[in-house]
Structure 1
Amino acid sequence: MAVTVQCPTMGDILAGNQCLENFAGLGSTVYVGLKEDLTEPMKLTDGVYSTPKFKSGKGLYRFDCKDDAQQIQGSSLKNNKGFELTGHFVIDAVSKLTAKYSRSVNNLKLFFIFLDGEEDSQILYDPTRNVRFDDGGIKSDTGKEAKDERTTTFECKLGPVRYDHLYVTPPTTGGWDSLLANKATVMPGG
């Protein structure tokens, strides 16, 4: 049976529709979720995923990151091959806690939500493909001198995906913090 795929309808990208403002960079908070904690895969419609729904007692984890250091880049993978996304975030610390969580991030099947302005959120997620950290994708640096910074840098990749940036619908009330695992309640029998 042949698969029918429909490309998005083309339209104009006009400066007037963008209000001539296109601020670079992403917010300083990154939310991390485990794919196995979802009750069902998120649904993708026109480049926007549905709000994640979590199993009882599960939820997102919040990483407070360095200001002006988060980024998502989308790159094409040849004609008709989709895109690869690269996510980048930096934590202003090298500690026992960052070492522990770096190990988790390197080994678990995760998705990442990045705040993009006041209304949008971008996501690195695919229901069948996993976000990966290639060799050197997680780096920590204690610095040498007192003036140096101590940072843990994460660079992850996801691909191929259908769009050069993927968005996710935030919760209708309470923002992403309302889905934090430490606020989740365990339902009876859950």
Structure 2
Amino acid sequence: MRANYHIANVTGQRAADVICPIVGGLSTNCLVAVLSQTKPKTTSPQIIPTVQKLIGESEDDVLKLYADCHTVCLSPALAVARFVNTMLKALRGDTNCVDCAFVAQTGHIGQFLPYMTSIVRLGRYGIMSSHMPKISGDEAHRLKKAAVIIKDLIKMGESFVTGEILDDSIQQNGSAQKLQEAAQAQATAASAFGKVQSQQTSG
């Protein structure tokens, strides 16, 4: 959602009309917006670095709002709502139900990363297919750098299930701290949202 917004803002379009695939992960240092495959294709090479920077920094902006202002940000909620609506359409039998999601990968992509954000097609029984969009050389370079962090985050996520103690290198490279900050920010947002609901109910 944020990628669509920033592209629309820079190019003078409506965010609702922009579709930009996302691959990699979800946090600032591992999210790769595939600007080369944005629809409609209006992103010129000259503004790509600016847009990539804005998209990358937007996660930090949201976390800062959570932590400093106790503000409930609607961007994640809107993204979730859109994905849920897509799922409901798929359950209804619609065939063109496509979105981006962090899912298990197979084949040569799975050898590169066992889990990552890619384009998924949803059906009545879940994910029908998952594929990577065609990416440019710069986007491939960004994804390769992000893969190091994503692998650590995957290990961290698996450790929550298995109870395995994480390797010191994972703890020290910033991935653990990033995940903890995100979890704390989400808890703060949930608390703030609960207070807003309570005030509305009592009012």
Shorter-chain-normalised TM-score: which range? Answer: under 0.3
Relative contact order, higher structure (CA 8 A, sep 6+):
1
In the superposition, the TM-score normalised over structure 2's length comes to 0.24
**TM-score, normalised with respect to structure 1:** 0.26
